[in-house]
Amino acid sequence: MPSRSELDLLYQIGSQLAPAIHQAQNWPYDVPHAQYEASLWPPHDVGGQPDAPVRYEEKEEEQWELDTYVTCEVLGWKGVWNAEERRRRGNNDIGLSLYYDFPYYGRWVLCAARMLVDKNHVSLLELLEKIAEVKARYGKP
């Protein structure tokens, strides 16, 4: 089991591998062991892996985040989906790039939209039309 300092190093290296904040690397043929190990750790589902200290930051949720949470909870209460589906669709099934590129509740919105289309609650055309309507309302291209 790695020490706290080794674990912190792995997380620092791993964070630089994230596509959203990727730093260009001149990769040699031989990759340092710590960099290799950091690249193998998934960004989610880290159950059983040792944890490094996390800096807790007070943050007040924005309105869209609260609305997203409530919408997803209502979908669950109505039996449209369950927490496992939300977790799987929002974490595992979207791929590494989208996982790092979307904020936490952004992934909830994405997986809710995908789930509603996949389970035929709305058609993809209806969803795209609604997105276009909202964009036009806010003057977005």
Per-residue pLDDT reduced to its tens digit, 3-59: 778 777 777 776 666 554 555 666 667 777 777 777 666 655 555 555 556 677 788
* pLDDT at 68 (0 to 100): 94
Can you say how many angstroms the Cα of residue 60 is from the centroid of all Cα atoms in its chain? 19
With residues binned 3-state (H G I as helix, E B as strand, rest as coil), the percentages for the chain, rounded to 5, are 60, 0, 40
* pLDDT at 130 (0 to 100): 93
Asked if residue 122 has pLDDT above 90, the reply is: yes
CB proximity list for 83: less than 8 A, separation 6 or greater: 76
CATH class of the structural domain 63-137: mainly alpha
Instruction: Say how far apart CA 79 and CA 77 lie, in whole Å.
Output: 5
Only one residue has tokens 């290799």, namely: 36
Per-residue pLDDT reduced to its tens digit, 69-120: 999 999 999 988 888 888 888 777 777 777 778 888 998 999 899 899 989 9
Instruction: Pick 63 or 55 by higher pLDDT.
Output: 63
Do 38 and 6 touch, CB atoms closer than 8 A?
Answer: no
* Catalytic machinery residues: 104
| The overall pTM is greater than 0.75 | no
Q: Which two tokens stand for residue 74?
A: 């209502």
Asked if residue 141 has pLDDT above 80, the reply is: no
Q: How far separated are the first and last CA of the chain, in Å rounded?
A: 51
* pLDDT at 28 (0 to 100): 64
Any idea where the domains of the chain sit in the sequence? 1-57, 63-137
CB proximity list for 93: less than 8 A, separation 6 or greater: 111
